[in-house]
């Protein structure tokens, strides 16, 4: 069966390539990566690559073309920065010229496990290992469908082609440009593969609300009873850890859609952070790093033995492993689940004042979804001990082209329609703020989440938290009762009250930007400064 689509590259303006490699698997892409000096092979068989200067997303280099079909639907600002159509067109011409005389690699893939809502994507690149990354991370088109494949969106990718900021209207040599009207994205000047993945997510996050689907930056799993749950959370809150529960099957760990059919994974693979990865703590992910087909990004390997050293962060603290999701046991192969029974929002509260678990009303869920709160320590400099509040609306602001209220309204409608129970889980600090208190024990957090998902917490009495209006369960199996009430874990109760008051103020100040977009119920469910 031919692996070449009848919808050729000439439709994208690509001509005079030295050779075009269509929908190649790992074997050929490994071979070419090594031949071109772009990577090596580890002791376990993974492909090891480096991305140089750019080892993570370059938010300042991402732009959306200001064009008629999408202009009025974009949430313009620091996250979604505009660029003129003329700049996009000139950069596309430069990329097409760059492609001439080069070997190109094409992957035709689907983004979205539900055929009703999936996006047909074509990624064209001159880097073989990036082509393998695309094949790992999304859903390869079955061979029988390849000849008639027509992409809905196309990505032109040239990681080693730099832009000229003075001429191209961008901020550095790196550029990520999204043009919804042209259904095309341009990525160049950065070898960090995550830009491809997040660009496709951004496109879906723009497209799917028009189709009645809520796109979500979340993980999802399903229990033995068939009930699905979703987990929202920013980096460092435990989203991947808590969803990868051995007692539940993983649907996906990063991006999902929620439709009338239920929830579905956007991806066909995983892009796991592997700094300090150990076989003991995360055996399933560790096992994938020993497999042929996995791409290890910015992982240091021994020059003689070729054994990866996951504790060495000299190349990047954001070292990654890209692998197909079926490299992990206990997954949902079809990447779909029914209507979620539970919605869990994760926060790592470095102030140490939020309850470790609390039940949310639908209005509170919308409020916390729009807030997207977590916290981190301000820095590692001597004397810096104050936690810093961080708000990322919808738990994924960098990937949300539309106004947050669009996604929040859809979430509220989905919760109301399905009756999903909503929870706020604090995976941060207890007994004091960062520097004084201690991090929540993962065993306690996992016990609380399991009790919430299997219905046991619904059977216990609740009390309202006086500061944040959250309903706290009076008891939870395998968790000491005093852990559940945050104030009781602090020796200095007045210090707790002061810190809680400070966080309340930060919530109120942050939410002012959304007040005009929500109804009175959500406003009343909000968190406000003490009178």
Active-site position among 217, 336, 359, 506: 217
Residue 510's closest CA among 372, 394, 403, 402? 372
Angle at 202 between CA 197 and CA 205, to 5 degrees: 125
Per the annotation, the verdict on 524 as an active-site residue is no
Q: E strands within 228-372?
A: 228-232, 249-252, 255-259, 262-265, 269-273, 295-297, 300-301, 308-309, 320-324, 336-337, 342-347, 357-360
3 state SS of 74: coil
Per the annotation, the verdict on 235 as an active-site residue is yes
**How far out from the chain centre does Cα 327 lie?**
19
Strands 153-158 and 184-188: parallel
Dihedral in degrees, nearest 10, Cα atoms 203, 204, 210, 216: -130
For the chain, how many helices (H) and strands (E)?
A: 13, 31
**φ/ψ of residue 209, rounded to 5:** -55, -30
Active-site position among 57, 92, 122, 135: 57
In angstroms, how far apart are the furthest CA atoms of the chain? 72
CA atoms within 13 A on the CB side of 518: 30
Residues 6+ apart with CB under 8 A from 169: 83, 84, 87
Active-site position among 254, 349, 363, 454: 254
Per the annotation, the verdict on 529 as an active-site residue is no
**φ/ψ of residue 32, rounded to 5:** -70, -35
Residue 467's closest CA among 507, 428, 429? 507
Active-site position among 240, 288, 374, 430: 240
Distance from C-alpha of 469 to C-alpha of 136, rounded to nearest angstrom: 44
Start-to-end CA distance of the chain, whole Å, equals 71
Distance from C-alpha of 186 to C-alpha of 305, rounded to nearest angstrom: 38
Active-site position among 12, 62, 92, 198: 198
Check: CB of residue 77 under 8 Å from CB of residue 64.
no
Per the annotation, the verdict on 219 as an active-site residue is no
Distance from C-alpha of 380 to C-alpha of 386, rounded to nearest angstrom: 11
3 state SS of 80: strand
Residues 6+ apart with CB under 8 A from 122: 12, 106, 107, 108, 109, 149, 151, 153, 154, 155
Per the annotation, the verdict on 487 as an active-site residue is no
Per the annotation, the verdict on 198 as an active-site residue is yes
Active-site position among 12, 239, 402, 504: 239
Residue 220's closest CA among 398, 339, 133? 339
Per the annotation, the verdict on 445 as an active-site residue is no
211: DSSP letter: G
Per the annotation, the verdict on 306 as an active-site residue is no
- H helix or E strand, kind and range, residue 153: strand 153-158
Residue 133's closest CA among 399, 325, 323? 323
Check: CB of residue 350 under 8 Å from CB of residue 483.
no
Residues with a catalytic annotation lie at 57, 198, 217, 235, 239-240, 254, 320
């Amino acid at each position: 069966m031919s692996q070449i689509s009848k919808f050729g590259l000439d439709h994208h303006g690509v001509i005079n390539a030295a050779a075009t490699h269509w929908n190649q698997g790992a074997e050929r892409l490994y071979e070419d990566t090594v031949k071109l000096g772009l990577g090596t092979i580890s002791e376990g068989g993974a492909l090891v690559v480096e991305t140089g200067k750019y080892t993570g997303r370059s938010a300042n280099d991402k732009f959306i073309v200001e064009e008629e079909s999408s202009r009025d639907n974009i949430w313009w600002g620091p996250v979604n920065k505009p660029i003129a159509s003329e700049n996009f067109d000139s950069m596309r011409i430069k990329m097409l010229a760059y492609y001439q005389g080069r070997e190109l690699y094409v992957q035709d893939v689907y983004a979205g496990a539900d055929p009703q809502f999936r996006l047909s994507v074509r990624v064209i690149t001159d880097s073989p290992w990036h082509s393998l990354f695309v094949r790992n991370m999304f859903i390869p088109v079955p061979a029988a469908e390849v000849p008639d494949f027509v992409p809905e969106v196309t990505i032109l990718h040239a990681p080693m082609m730099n832009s000229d900021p003075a001429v191209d209207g961008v901020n550095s040599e790196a550029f990520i440009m999204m043009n919804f009207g042209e259904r095309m994205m341009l990525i160049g000047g950065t070898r960090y593969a995550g830009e491809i993945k997040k660009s496709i997510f951004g496109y879906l996050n723009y497209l799917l609300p028009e189709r009645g689907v809520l796109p979500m930056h979340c993980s999802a799993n399903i229990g033995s009873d068939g009930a699905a749950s979703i987990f929202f959370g920013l980096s460092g809150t435990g989203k991947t850890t808590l969803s990868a529960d051995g007692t539940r099957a993983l649907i996906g760990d990063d991006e999902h859609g929620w439709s009338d059919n239920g929830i579905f994974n956007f991806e066909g693979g995983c892009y796991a952070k592997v700094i300090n990865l150990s076989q003991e703590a995360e055996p399933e992910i560790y096992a994938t790093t020993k497999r042929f087909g996995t791409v290890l990004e910015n992982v240091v390997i021994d020059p003689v033995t070729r054994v990866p050293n996951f504790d060495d962060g000299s190349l990047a603290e954001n070292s990654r492993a890209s692998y197909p999701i079926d490299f992990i046991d206990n997954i949902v192969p079809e990447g779909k689940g029914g209507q979620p029974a539970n919605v869990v929002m994760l926060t790592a509260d470095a102030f140490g004042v939020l309850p470790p678990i609390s039940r949310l009303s639908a209005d509170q869920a919308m409020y916390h979804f729009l807030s997207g709160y977590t916290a981190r320590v301000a820095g590692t400099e001597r004397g810096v001990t104050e936690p810093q509040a961080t708000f990322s609306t919808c738990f994924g602001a960098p990937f949300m082209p539309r106004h947050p209220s669009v996604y929040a309204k859809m979430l509220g409608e989905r919760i109301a329609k399905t009756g999903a129970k909503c929870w706020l889980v604090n995976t941060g600090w207890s007994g004091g703020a960062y520097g004084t208190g201690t991090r929540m024990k993962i065993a306690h957090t996992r016990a609380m989440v399991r009790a919430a998902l299997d219905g046991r917490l619904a059977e216990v009495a609740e009390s309202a938290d006086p500061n944040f209006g959250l309903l706290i369960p009076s008891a939870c199996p395998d968790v000491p009762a005093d852990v559940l009430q945050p104030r009781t874990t602090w020796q200095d109760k007045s210090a707790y009250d002061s810190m809680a008051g400070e966080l309340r103020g930060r919530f109120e100040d942050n939410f002012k930007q959304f007040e005009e977009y929500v109804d009175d119920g959500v406003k009343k469910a909000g968190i406000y400064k003490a009178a």
